[in-house]
Chain A
Amino acid sequence: MVHIDNVSTCYLNKEILKNISFKVNERDFLGIIGKNGVGKSTLLKVLCKLVKPYSGNVFIDCKNINCFSKKEFAKMVSFLPQYLDTSLSFNVFEFIMFGRYPYMNALKIPSSKDYIAVKKIMNFLQITNLSQRKINELSGGEKQKILIAQVLAQETDIIVFDEPTSHLDIGGQNDILEILRDLNENYNKIIILTLHDLNVASEFCNKLVLLENGSICKQGVPEEVLNHVDIERVYNTKVIVEMNPISNRPYIIQVSKNLIA
C-alpha cells in the first residue's frame, strides 16, 4: 500500500505540487491525469524517490520511503520514465538484464538466477525472438515492450509508468495496456501511471487522480472523476462525456469551440 501524505515540492522557488494526499491500495490500477506541466511527472518522481518533497512524506506499507536503502527501494518500486535514451546499442537481452541490478553484487555480474528471471519475462511478454536484436533498431512498440520487460525484471510490487503509451498507435497502446492490466489482475502488481488519453485512463484504471495547478482537483473511480464540468474546466476545452456501451465506462469526445457557438 502506498500512502502519499501532504506532499509539496518546488523547483527553482516555484511550487509544483501543493499538499497532495492520496492512498493507493493493493491491486489498484491508478491513473494520474491533468494538463501538461501540472506536475504529473513530478508526482511520480516523488513516489520513486527521484525528487525530494520539501514537505510531506510518502509511506509504503506504513514505512517512510526515506528509511529504505537504495537497493531495498529498487526491489519495491520500479519506474519507467517518459523519455529514455534507448539509442545505446545494447542488445535486448542485456538491456533487460539491467533490471536485475538491485539483485546483483557490487560488480554487477549476473547469476544464473538472473538469467532465468530474464528468460521468464521474455517468454511472458513473447519477445524471445528479439533477444539478440539491438535496441536502437527496434520499432516504438517493441521498444516499449523491452522497457516494460526491464521494469518487470526488477520484480517489484509497485510499478510506476510515466506515459507508457504516448507515442504508440492505438493497437500498440492496447497491447501495452493489456499487459499492464494482466500484471495488475493476475500478478497483484500495483500500477501507477500518468496518462494523457482520458479514454484510455477511463477504460483501464480503477481509480483516477485529476490534478489541477499542482493540487488534486478530484480523485475516485473514473465515473466520478471524468464528468464534463471538471474536465472542461481543467483542460479549458469543450467536451462531451458519453458511456462506452461495452465497458460501461465514460468516454470523452473533444468538440471544437466554434461549433458550439
Chain B
Amino acid sequence: MINRKLLFIYLLMFILLVMTFLFSLMYGSNKISFIEVSKALFGSIDIDENIAVIIKQIRLPRTIMTCIVGAGLAVSGCVFQAILKNPLADPFTLGISSGAALGVTIAFVLGLSSIRNFFIPFCAFIGMTISVIIVYLLSVRRRFASKTMILSGVVVSYIFSSAAMLLFALSPSSSVQTAFIWLLGDFSNFDERLLPFTFVVILVSIIILSLFGNVINTVCLSDEKSKTFGIDIEKNITFLFFTASIITSATVSVCGIIGFIGLIIPHAMRKIIGTNNNMLLIPASAFSGAFFLPFCDTLSRVLFSPILIPIGIITNIIGGFFFVYLLLKSDGAIQNGAYR
C-alpha cells in the first residue's frame, strides 16, 4: 500500500516535471504554441527560423539549467538539514554564499570579468572552495558537532562578507552594481558552455546521495547512538558535507545565489513522504526542486513582461507563503522537532 502511494507521488512529480518543462518552453516574453515548440524540439523543417532559435538556443538551455539547479539546491538543502540536525539549515547556512560573494567581488573589482566572462564563475568557485575548506577545518577538530559547524559557518560568513563589503566600499560604483546583481541569482545570462559540466556534476552527486539515503539517516541520530551501531559518523559527515557543498558551488557558479528553495523543498517533501526514508526523500526532493525552479523562472519572465524580474524574488514569495501555510497547518510540530 505504501509503495502504491509512493508510486503515485513519483508519477505525479514526473508529470509535473514534464508539464513545467513545456510551460517553461512555451511562455516567455512571447508565447509559442505547443505544436511549434515540439516542431522546434524535434527538428521539423516547416518552422519559423526565429522560433526555432528562441526555443533551441534560449529557452531550452535555460529550462534545463533551472531544472538541474532546482534539483541540486533541494537535495543539498536536505543533506545540510540532516548533517546539521537543524530544520532551518539550507545550502548556504555554512557560509558558501559569502565565499562566492567575495570571489565574485574580487573578479569584478579587479576587472577580470571584462577579460573573460568565464572568470566570474571561476572566481566564485574558488571563493566557495576556500570557505568550505575553512568551515571543514574548523569543524573537524570538534568532531562535527552541529553547533560547532553552524558557528563556524556563521563566522566564515561574517568574515568573507565583510571583506566583500570592504571591496564594495573601495571600488567604483558601476562594478559594484554588476557584482551585486550577479549574486542575486539570475538565469538570463549564464555561460552556456557551463551547462553540460554543471548538469553532469549535479546529476552524479544527486544519484550518489540518493543511494546513500540510509547513511544520511545515520547522521540524524545522536552521535553516541550511531557510534554504538558501528558507524563512522565523522567519515560519513565529511563525505556528505563535501558532496552537498559541491552541488551548491556548482549551482552558485552558474547562476548566483538562489535562496529558499533549499529550505522549503526538503520541508515540503518531509511533510508528504516522511522523515524516515531518505532513500526516497532525496530523489523526491530532486524531482520537486526540478519542477519548482523552472516554474518560478517562467513566472519571473511572464508576470511583468517585458520586464524580467530576478527569480529569487519569485522563489522567496512563493516559498514564504508556503512556509506560512505549513506553519499554520501544523503549529507545534516544528517545536517538537517533527520536521526533522
Contact = CB atoms under 8 A, between A and B. Distances in A.
Contacts of B230: 69-75, 101-102
28 contacts: A49-B227, A71-B230, A74-B229, A74-B230, A79-B225, A79-B228, A81-B225, A84-B225, A87-B336, A87-B340, A88-B220, A88-B275, A89-B274, A90-B275, A90-B276, A94-B277, A98-B229, A101-B218, A101-B229, A101-B231, A102-B230, A107-B212, A107-B214, A108-B217, A109-B214, A136-B337, A136-B338, A154-B228
A94 B276 contact: yes
Chain B binding surface SS class? loop
A28 to B, nearest CB: 20
A50 interface: yes
Contacts of B275: 88-90
Nearest to B277: A94
Interface in A88-123: 88-91, 94, 98-99, 101-102, 104, 106-109
Nearest to A103: B230
Interface string A109-146: 10000000000000000000000001010000000000
A78 interface: yes
Contacts of A106: 215
Contacts of B215: 106-108
B3 interface: no
A85 interface: yes
Contacts of A94: 276-277
A88 B229 contact: no
B192 interface: no
B217 A70 contact: no
Given A87-B336, A88-B275, A90-B275, A74 B228 contact: yes
Contacts of B224: 45, 50, 79, 81
A211 interface: no
Contact of A70 (B221, B231, B276): B231
A77 B228 contact: yes
Nearest to B333: A89
B214 A50 contact: no
Nearest to B229: A101
Contact of A89 (B222, B279, B340): B340
B217 A89 contact: no
Q: Which of A69, A84, A88 has the most CB of B within 10 A?
A: A88
B191 interface: no
Contacts of A45: 224
A71 B340 CA distance: 27
B276 A98 contact: no
A91 B277 CA distance: 10
Nearest to B279: A109
Given A74-B228, A81-B224, A108 B218 contact: yes
A48 interface: yes
Given A70-B230, A74-B230, A98-B229, A108 B214 contact: yes
Contacts of A50: 224, 227-228
B277 A154 contact: no
B211 interface: yes
Nearest to A48: B228
Interface in B247-287: 270, 274-277, 279
Contacts of B337: 85, 87-89, 136
A85 B232 contact: no
Nearest to B221: A98
A81 B222 CA distance: 10
A50 B279 CA distance: 29
